[in-house]
Structure formats: structure tokens, C-alpha cells
A and B are shown apart, each in its own frame.
Chain A
Amino acid sequence: MTKQRHLEIMVGVFVAAGIVALFFMALQVSNLGNITDQEGYNVQARFDNIGGIKVKAPVTMAGVKVGRVTKIEFDKETFEAVATLNIEKKYDQIPDDTFAGRN
């Protein structure tokens, strides 16, 4: 009986350590901490050429990340690329005449 208990304790520690490792991967290594503020609001930017921009690329203002690119489409009427940018909620004071560029 005590041997069985010893086994159970060791297995319990093993499973707990494995779950801790999974949480470590999720919280410390991946971007889970950053995508919690997913809501924000969407704006669209039109480009003659989208260049190397990919979905999930960061959107920066003055070099600071303020959001992410969530969708890239082609407008078949104006022949432009339309990128949907998700801007974080806390940056809601961006002036109307702001223009987007890619770098």
C-alpha cells in the first residue's frame, strides 16, 4: 500500500510538472500575454503595393507598436491592397488625417 502511495505521489508530481511546463510555454514563451487586449478597433489602410506586409505584422506609430494587421485583401475596383489594422483600445486619440505607410 505504501509503495502504491509512493507511485501515486511521484506520478502526481510528474503530471503537475508537465502542466507547469505547458503553462510556462504558453505564458512566458508565447504571445498569450500580448493578445489578451484583442478587442481594440479596426481601421482600413489602402496601399498601391502591400510589399512584404503579412497578417499579424505589428502596426507602429513613431516606432511604438499600437496594433496588428488582421486582414489583407485586394480591392478589385480600385486595384489597391486593403489592409485591416486592429489598433489597441488605449490608442483612440489618433487624428483623422493620419496616413499609413509601410516600412
Chain B
Amino acid sequence: MKSITDFFANLGGNVLSAVQKLGRGHMLFFQMVMGMDEILRRPSLLIKQLFYVGVLSVILISLSGFFVGMVLGLQGYYTLSQFGAEATLGVMVAASLVRELGPVVTALLFAGRAGSALTAEVGLMKATEQLSGLEMMAVNPIRRVLTPRLFGGIISMPLLAAMFSMFGVLGGWFVGVGLLGVDDGTYWSQMQTKIDLHEDIYNGIIKSIVFGVVCTWIALFEGYDSTPTSEGLSRATTRTVVHSAFAILGLDFILTAIMFGE
């Protein structure tokens, strides 16, 4: 009898703490967005975060995009040439990059590269009581520390995803046209007739903005909500990457179903 009530007590406790955490996350998001005027008043805060979150990710994102594009070129050529349809290689490469791989892989890399760094930074600020210190000086740490980071992430993500897709298309071109002998004109013209500006490109950008919000939000919340010990910090950083990956892949399915499902 005791073990049964224990079971229900545990279950209830877990659900309650999950709901509380969800609530704290949404409260924090609301407070971060409400602090938007802070970045208008001090744009240098945002610029600094754009540098750390965006600029430092450019090389990783561009190189990954190029390699993903090259793999798509090789693999696509192998499959398409069996049907004599090498001419549509450009469509295959561009459609997969713009619709799915660009936003998703960028967001996954972003979560690993920038998200974990944000969590560690904010978590350490909390552990060393820098956030409380700011509060003691009547500076709101959410507005001063978290808001610029959130918007840095939201602005960086679509730009990074666009770079990823661009380098991917060029990588596919390099392999398909340069190495495997697909015609240059066919590669581009097939792509241009099949890829639609609204349907494919805008939706890809919307996806990457959504992922930017979610990834940065998760990273900042985990850092802000972490237990201020070295163990708590390491767990928070792990949770950032794991939760971001789940959120990205899950949301990607939902967004794809809404955008491209008929």
C-alpha cells in the first residue's frame, strides 16, 4: 500500500515540477522579450552578442554547409543517374537544403556551438553571483544580460541558415558540375524552375527564425535556472543540447507538416 502511494506521489511530484519549470521558462521568455527596449537603448550589448553568437559560428556553419552540399551532390547523383535524371541534381540539392537541412542542421550546430556556451556563461554568472550582484546595483539582469543574448540568437540564426544553404548549393554544384560532369546551365536552370521563392525559401527562413527563438530560449533558460554548482552547470549544459535537439527535430516535423503538407 505504501509503495503504491509512493508511486503516485512521485508521479505527481514529477508532473508538478515539470509544469513549474515550463511556467518559469515562459515567464523568463516574457520578461526577456519585454526587455527589448534595453537593446534599443544600448545597441552595443546586442552587437557584442551578435559577435559571440553569430560571427564566431560562421566558419563552422559555412564549412558544414559546404560538406553537406557535397555529400548531397554525390549521393543525389548516384541515385538520380540510375533513372537518367542527373539534370535534376540541382533541384534535389537545393530543395533538401532550403526546406529541411539548412534550417535544421544549422540549428543543431548552433545549439552545440552557441547554445551550450550561452548556458555555461549564464550559469556561471549565476553560480558566481554576478547576476545577484547586478540586481544589488538595481540593474535588472534579465534585461541587461539575457535579452541581448536572446535577440543575438534570433537575428543570427536565419543569417547562418541562409549561409549554410548557400554554401550547400555551391558544394553540390562543385561536386555535381565540377567533378561528376552535370551541365552547369542545367544545374541552375532546373533549380530555378522548381524552387519557389514563397513556398520554399520564405518557409525555410521562417523555420530558421523559429529555431533561433527556441534554441536561444532553451539555452538561456537552462543557464538561468541551473543549480549554481559545478555539477548543476554541467547538467544544465547537457540539457541545453539535448532539449534543443528534441525541440528542433520535433518542431521541424510540425512546421513541415503545416507548411508543405497538403
Contacts and interface: CB of A to CB of B under 8 A. Distances in A.
A11 B55 contact: yes
B162 A22 contact: yes
B156 to A, nearest CB: 8
Contact of B162 (A25, A30, A33): A25
Interface stretch (A2-10, A41-49, A74-82, A95-103): A2-10
Interface in B105-151: none
Which of under 10, 10 to 19, 20 to 34, or 35 or more describes the interface residues of A?
Answer: 20 to 34
B245 interface: no
B68 interface: no
Nearest to B163: A21
Interface string B186-197: 001001111111
Interface residues of B, number: 32
Interface string A1-35: 00010011011011101110110111011111111
B252 interface: no
B169 interface: yes
B159 A11 contact: no
Nearest to A19: B159
A4 to B, nearest CB: 7
B197 A14 contact: no
A65 to B, nearest CB: 8
A18 B192 contact: no
Contacts of A21: 159, 162-163, 165-166
Contacts of A25: 98, 162, 165-166, 201, 204
B205 interface: yes
B195 A31 contact: yes
Contact of A34 (B48, B192, B200, B205): B192
B50 interface: yes
A90 B38 CA distance: 54
Contacts of B50: 11, 14-15
B197 A15 contact: no
A18 B162 contact: yes
B58 A29 contact: no
B94 interface: yes
Most buried by B among A7, A25, A30, A35: A25
A62 B58 CA distance: 47
Contact of B188 (A7, A17, A26, A28): A28
A26 B47 contact: no
A29 to B, nearest CB: 5
A22 B51 CA distance: 19
A29 B159 contact: no
B75 interface: no
B160 interface: yes
Contacts of A28: 169, 188, 192
Interface of B: 44, 47-48, 50-51, 54-55, 58, 94, 98, 155-156, 158-160, 162-163, 165-166, 169, 188, 191-197, 200-201, 204-205
